[in-house]
Amino acid sequence: MSTGIVFHAIAAIIYLGLSAVLWGMLQAGKPMEKPELVARWAVLVALVSQAVGLDALVLAGGNLHLSWLLALSVAIWLGLVVFWLESLIVKMDGLLLLLLPAAGVTCLLTALFPGSHLITSAAETALRGHLLLALGAYGLITIAALQSILMAALDHHLHHPRGVVDDASALKRAIGRVLDAQPPLLTQERLLFRIIWIAFGALTLAIVSGGLISLATTSKWLPFDHKTVFTVLSWLTFGMLLLGRHLWGWRGRIALRYTLVGFVFVLLSYTGSRFVIEVLLNRG
C-alpha cells in the first residue's frame, strides 16, 4: 500500500471522526466551543497527513501526477489551511460541520481510487511549478465559490428564519441548526475575500509563469486556446471584484455574483474539461 493511500486514509479517519463528534454535539444541543482546542490540533494533524499523502501521489518520483480526485483533494486541503489559519484569530467552529465531512469523504475516495495520469509535459521544474500554481488557484477559487453559496444560504436563513423552524421536515430542521451554528456573515465575508486574494495572487503568478514558458518555447506570450481565454477571463473577474471591494466596498450579492462567474470561467478552463475526459469519457 502506497504512502499516499495510507496518509489519505489517516486524514479521512480524523476528519470523519471529528465530524461525527461535532454533529453529535449539534444534535444534542451542546456548545461546540468546548472541544475547540482539541479539534484545532486534530485538524492540523489531518492536514499534515493529507499533505504527506498529496505529496506522495501528486509528486511521485519527481514527476507530476494528476486526476480529478487529486485536484479536489488539493482544493479541500487549501481551503482547510486558510480556514485553520483564520480560526487562530476568529472562532469559526460552525464551518467545521461542513468542511470536515467534505474533507473526510474526499480523502476516503482518494485513498480508495488513487489512480492518476502522468503529466508528461511537466518534466521541467518551471512547467511543473506553473501547473501547481494553477491547480492551487483553481482549488481556492472553488472553495471561494462554495463559501459564497454558504453565505447566500445563511443570509436567506437570517431573513426568513420562521420558514425553517415551522416546517416539519427533518431535513430543513437539520439545515436550520447547521446554519444557526455558522459564524457571523461579516466573519465569513472576511474569510471569503482572504481566500479570493490568495487565489487571485496564485492565478496571477500562474498566468505570468505560463506566459514566460510559452514565450520561451513558442515565442508567443500566451497560446490562444480555451484554457487561456477562460483563465484570463476569471482573472479579470476576480480583479474587478477586488477593485470594486477596495474602491466601492462591494459585498453581499455583488461579491456572490462575481465569485460565481469567476468560478464558472475556471470550471470551463480546467476542472470541467478534466471531469468530462476522466469521468464521463473514461480517458486519462
Kindly report, residue by residue over 203-257, the tens digit of the pLDDT: 999 999 988 888 887 778 877 777 888 889 999 999 999 999 999 999 888 999 9
Q: List helix spans (H) across the chain.
A: 3-27, 36-58, 68-87, 93-112, 125-159, 161-165, 170-180, 185-218, 226-248, 252-266, 272-275
Coil, helix or strand for 122?
Answer: helix
**How far, in Å, CA of 19 to CA of 55, rounded?**
25
Query: Which of 94, 99, 115, 113 has its CA nearest to residue 46?
Result: 99
Q: Are 70 and 116 in contact (CB under 8 A)?
A: yes
- CA distance to 71, 161, 209, per residue, from 143 (Å): 12, 26, 23
Kindly report, residue by residue over 54-83, the tens digit of the pLDDT: 999 988 777 788 888 888 899 899 989 988
Kindly report, residue by residue over 123-179, the tens digit of the pLDDT: 577 787 888 888 889 889 988 998 898 888 888 877 776 544 454 466 566 677 777
User: To which residue does cell 467545521 refer?
Assistant: 96
Helices 68-87 & 36-58 angle (0-180, nearest 10): 150
pLDDT given at position 234: 94
Kindly report, residue by residue over 11-53, the tens digit of the pLDDT: 999 999 999 988 888 777 666 555 567 888 899 999 999 999 9
pLDDT given at position 92: 73
